[in-house]
Amino acid sequence: MTSPTEKTNLLGLPKAKLEAFFESLGEKRFRATQLLQWMHQRGVDDFDQMTNVSKPLREKLKEVAEVRGPEVIFDETSKDGTRKWVMRMDNGNSVETVLIPDGERGTLCVSSQIGCSLDCTFCSTGKRGFNRNLTAAEIIGQVWVARKAFMPFEPGADRPITNVVMMGMGEPLLNFDNVVDAMNLMMEDLAYGISKRRVTLSTSGVVPALDQLGEVTDVSLAISLHAPNDELRNQLVPLNKKYPIAELLAATRRYLDRLPDKRKATIEYTVIEGVNDQPEHARQLSKVLKGLPCKINLIPFNPFPESDFRRPKLTATRRFQTILNEAGYITTIRTTRGDDIDAACGQLVGRVEDRTRRSQRYIQVQQVTP
Ligand code: SAH
Ligand code: SF4
């Protein structure tokens, strides 16, 4: 995974890969257990502090490996307790990670890519274009930084991170292997020990990768639907032209059917005023989802400067919710958190140097079509 001059960053290696790494050094596999605990449970990145590892092995590790988390360049807590970190990754680009405390629950929203190539019309990340995939170390590094911020834990205190959602910047299924490695570390008892039900991958619907996902993991699933028919979804989520709603929901069902336990998918629906918020859309949605084990999460659109879309009135969102509730769906409205520190959904932009130059194209389009 590295060139001869580069050191292996052990932070991103799930247990099996870390065991293979130690075997390649001629060491015993149980070293992986020790390293996982030092790195992830205790937040240690200095081999010299790993006191149950022999001195010669520590010296060897220093030559060929490193434990390197992302550099934190911004760390602020909102009035409502939401905490946001901006982390600088290797090529100078930054991504954002948000922790949303809610009673005993602490949900960490993690990014999978720098930018996103899918260009959904209502998403500021998409508008900034795509730069690159994050490595597994950079993805789990966000959890590592957030967890370290609460160390040492007070005895008996609530755990600060109980849930992780892959809902930050990027499309996780387009960075498949690294996201799977990072999610395995989230669920690993020797690392973060988060239950598979509480690790959620959110996708806009890369159907073949969703089927592949079911073969390698059993995390929870959130589907970014946003529209009840293909005509409208084609406009909001361009990927729908490749994988339309019926195919996406069939793949979602296949995924749920494979799970060893009974679980519902979360259907995410960003509600945009005058676009997808009419009672007719709610009725269509209730038909389209019929028979799928799911709950629906309505996300009022969060405006951002480059978008003409507007946030819906709360009454319109409530009316939408009532129709779905009456059709028998558990439906929640996501409250906006962390507004004062720009931590809300769709505002996780970071500073992206766009390899696709989409932001420039977008600005030009905006200028010619006022
Ligand atoms: N790419 C993945 C995960 C990241 S986006 C996906 O699309 O599912 C995570 C969620 O943020 C998506 O459901 C998306 O709809 C939502 N989102 C993006 N921009 C938003 C905005 N401006 N307002 C509200 N929600 C937004
Ligand atoms: Fe990418 Fe998700 Fe934003 Fe769409 S909503 S552009 S898939 S990050």
- ∠ CA 127-123-194, nearest 5°, is 120
List all residues 6 or more positions away from 158 whose beta carbon is below 8 Å from its beta carbon.
104, 106
Instruction: Let me know if 109 is a catalytic residue.
Output: no
Cite the annotated binding site for [4Fe-4S] cluster by residue number.
Answer: 116, 120, 123
125 C-beta closer than 6 A to ligand 2 = yes
Distance between CA atoms of residues 311 and 322, nearest Å: 18
Measuring from atom 24 of ligand 1, which residue has the nearest CA? 301
167 C-beta closer than 6 A to ligand 1 = yes
| CA 121–ligand 2 middle distance (angstroms) | 9
Q: Which two tokens stand for residue 21?
A: 């790494």
205 C-beta closer than 6 A to ligand 2 = no
Distance between CA atoms of residues 352 and 23, nearest Å: 38
Q: Which two tokens stand for residue 271?
A: 């509600």
Cite the annotated binding site for S-adenosyl-L-methionine by residue number.
Answer: 170-171, 202, 224-226, 302
* CA 270 to each of CA 120, 162, 230, 277, 310: distance values in angstroms, whole numbers, following the listed order: 11, 25, 16, 9, 11
* CA 176 to each of CA 120, 173, 210, 281, 302: distance values in angstroms, whole numbers, following the listed order: 20, 5, 10, 32, 28
List all residues 6 or more positions away from 152 whose beta carbon is below 8 Å from its beta carbon.
none
| CA 169–ligand 2 middle distance (angstroms) | 7
| CA 96–ligand 1 middle distance (angstroms) | 14
Q: HSE of 264 in the Cβ direction (CA atoms, 13 Å)?
A: 15
| CA 253–ligand 2 middle distance (angstroms) | 22
Ligand nearest to the CA of 347: 1
Instruction: Let me know if 96 is a catalytic residue.
Output: yes
Distance between CA atoms of residues 214 and 251, nearest Å: 10
96 C-beta closer than 6 A to ligand 1 = no
Which pTM does this prediction carry? Answer: 0.92
Ligand 2 atom nearest residue 170's Cα: 8
User: Does residue 165 contact residue 110 with C-beta atoms inside 8 Å?
Assistant: yes
H or E stretch covering 20: helix 15-24
Find the catalytic residue in 109, 268, 294, 345: 345
Measuring from atom 13 of ligand 1, which residue has the nearest CA? 224
Give me the tens of pLDDT residue by residue for the chain, a chain 370 residues long. Answer: 444 458 999 999 999 999 999 999 999 999 999 999 999 999 999 999 999 999 999 999 999 999 999 999 999 998 888 999 999 998 888 898 999 998 889 999 999 999 999 999 999 888 888 999 999 999 999 999 999 998 876 666 668 899 999 999 999 999 999 999 999 999 999 999 999 999 999 999 999 999 999 999 999 999 999 999 999 999 999 999 999 999 999 999 999 999 999 999 999 999 999 999 999 999 999 999 999 999 999 999 999 888 999 999 999 999 999 999 999 999 999 887 666 666 655 555 554 555 554 444 333 333 333 2
* CA 79 to each of CA 58, 104, 182: distance values in angstroms, whole numbers, following the listed order: 43, 18, 30
User: Does residue 353 contact residue 94 with C-beta atoms inside 8 Å?
Assistant: no
Query: What domains can be seen in the chain, in order of their start residue?
Result: 8-66 (1.10.150.530), 71-362 (3.20.20.70)
| CA 135–ligand 2 middle distance (angstroms) | 19
